[in-house]
């Protein structure tokens, strides 16, 4: 089996591309099943967030066209995707997944949402029956490592998320959020987090809308917010100084014509849109209107960079911990991979023991059941004692990544060789002499027309 991760994220692709291949929660089971049906894909799951879309697969060959799957599924030309997509295999893929789950690959390092999003993607894949033993073991180990990062380092010491960064940007623009009216469009986790931060910063009235009225009521209640029926969204929007929008709509729900109407009703008082949805809820062309300030999720990277600087030491501690957890995972995998040789050694010894018992049967004569049991126990005990050193040696060689010793032991005891792609890695879980993918420069596409 080959482990492969292919995708795009906020580092490699602009939002214009990410929104074209974004997968909604409702679409995820269907798209995951479609990926599982591809030739060569043995197991799979898909992580789709505002900042990344990643196909995580276990392949029974090396020729599965994962990039082609994205192009066909979303009608994206191969030339458009090329240069933005990345692919990690085997040990690189393992390290990448551990870092993603631990929020070391996030726009805001240390944000807490990504672990829940990866777990949700895993749950969808399990329900769809597209994950099995290999991905199950890998993801559970990644979740455990991510939990360790949050409990044993300071990376998660303060509440940082895309929502909190967005609110911080609003505060910098307005100077103070005291008394400002905020309209939350979409009642998902992002909107709820934004509401918490806005209240902490002294926001005044909070309006909440969602296509499902009950969800809007549920989110508005703790903040004493006013619920707006979704069909009245445009009438209510003109009341708001700040609109935080995070829906799962496949198209823009605010366009320049709406913006002109809002400004007219507000007598040209400015409005601030924070669009944390992918695909975007707000047409970027709205930012050309005087008095409208539109920021999408990619615009939040400047604020995120400040958090990166503050958390550099914690991030370094987390990277060290993740490297150790990746190596521990590889050690367990190598020990498991030594199992066929150990089983073959035990089978070989048992066949010799049985053959010797048959050869000695005539000389032993007629033995009582108790005597036969004693002979069985004696011979089995001797065999186990003789097997103990070579079995320990096999396990130790696997754990220590000692390919030469493993090969010598297998040759000495006439055991099957152990093919192990992990035997060429260094202590950090990287191939010896290889350049890690994140150190390879990626050309970032520029996005024009933002304020």
SS (H, E, C) 95-142: HHHHHHHCCCCCCCCCCCHHHHHHHHHHHHHHHHCCCCHHHHHHHHHH
Q: Provide the pairing of β-strand 242-245 with 271-275.
A: parallel
Q: How many CB atoms lie within 10 A of CB 332?
A: 14
Please, is 181 exposed, middle or buried when counting C-beta atoms within 10 Å of its C-beta (0-12, 13-18, 19+)?
middle
The closest of 92, 144, 94, 100 to 118, measured between CA atoms, is 100
User: Which tokens sit at 333?
Assistant: 């995998």
**CA–CA gap between residue 209 and residue 34 (Å, rounded):** 33
Give bridge partners of residue 284 from the DSSP assignment: none
Give residue for tokens 């969204």: 233
3-state SS class at 401? coil
Q: Which residues are catalytically annotated?
A: 50
Give bridge partners of residue 89 from the DSSP assignment: 4
**CA–CA gap between residue 450 and residue 51 (Å, rounded):** 18
The closest of 301, 259, 381 to 111, measured between CA atoms, is 301
Q: Residues for the chain: how many in total?
A: 451
C-alpha to C-alpha distances, 56 to 10, 39, 43, 186, 194, nearest whole angstrom:
17, 15, 8, 29, 30
In the DSSP assignment, the letter for residue 431 is B
User: Which tokens sit at 134?
Assistant: 């290999």
**CA–CA gap between residue 47 and residue 7 (Å, rounded):** 9
Counts of helices then strands in the chain (DSSP H, E): 17, 10
Ranges of H-type helices in 249-402: 256-265, 301-310, 312-337, 339-364, 369-399
């Amino acid at each position: 089996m080959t482990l492969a991760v292919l995708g795009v994220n906020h580092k490699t692709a602009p939002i214009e591309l990410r929104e074209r291949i974004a997968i909604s929660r409702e679409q995820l089971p269907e798209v995951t099943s479609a990926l599982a049906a591809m030739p060569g894909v043995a197991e799979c799951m898909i992580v789709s967030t505002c900042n990344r879309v990643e196909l995580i697969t276990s392949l029974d060959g090396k020729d599965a066209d994962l990039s082609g799957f994205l192009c066909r599924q979303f009608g994206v030309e191969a030339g458009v995707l090329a240069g933005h997509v990345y692919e990690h295999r085997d040990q690189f893929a393992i390290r990448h997944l551990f870092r993603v789950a631990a929020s070391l690959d996030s726009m805001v390092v240390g944000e807490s949402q990504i672990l829940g999003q990866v777990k949700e993607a895993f749950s969808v894949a399990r329900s769809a029956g597209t994950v099995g033993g290999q991905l199950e073991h890998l993801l559970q180990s990644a979740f455990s490592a991510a939990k360790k990062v949050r409990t044993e380092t300071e990376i998660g010491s303060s509440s940082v998320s895309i929502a909190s960064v967005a609110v911080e940007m609003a505060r910098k623009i307005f100077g103070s959020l005291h008394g400002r009216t905020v309209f939350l469009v979409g009642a998902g986790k992002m909107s709820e987090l934004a509401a918490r931060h806005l209240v902490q910063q002294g926001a005044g009235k909070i309006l909440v809308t969602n296509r499902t009225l009950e969800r809007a009521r549920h989110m508005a209640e703790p903040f004493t917010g006013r619920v707006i029926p979704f069909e009245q969204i445009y009438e209510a929007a003109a009341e708001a100084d700040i609109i935080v929008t995070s829906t799962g709509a496949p198209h823009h729900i605010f366009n320049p014509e709406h913006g002109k109407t809002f400004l007219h009703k507000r007598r040209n008082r400015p409005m601030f849109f924070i669009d944390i949805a992918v695909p975007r809820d707000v047409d970027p062309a709205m930012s050309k209107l005087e008095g409208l300030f539109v920021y999408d999720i990619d615009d939040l990277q400047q604020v995120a960079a400040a958090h990166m600087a503050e958390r550099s030491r914690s991030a370094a501690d987390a990277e060290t911990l993740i490297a150790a957890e990746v190596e521990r995972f590889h050690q367990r995998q190598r020990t498991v991979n030594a199992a066929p040789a150990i089983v073959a050694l035990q089978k070989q010894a048992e066949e010799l023991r049985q053959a010797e018992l048959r050869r000695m049967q005539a000389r032993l004569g007629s033995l009582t059941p108790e005597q036969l049991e004693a002979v069985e126990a004696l011979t089995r005990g001797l065999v186990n004692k003789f097997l103990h050193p070579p079995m320990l040696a096999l396990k130790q060689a696997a754990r220590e990544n000692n390919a030469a010793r493993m090969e010598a032991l297998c040759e000495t005891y006439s055991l099957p060789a152990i093919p192990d792609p992990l035997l060429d890695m260094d202590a950090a879980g990287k191939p010896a002499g290889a350049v890690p993918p994140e150190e390879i420069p990626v050309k970032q596409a520029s996005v024009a027309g933002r304020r």
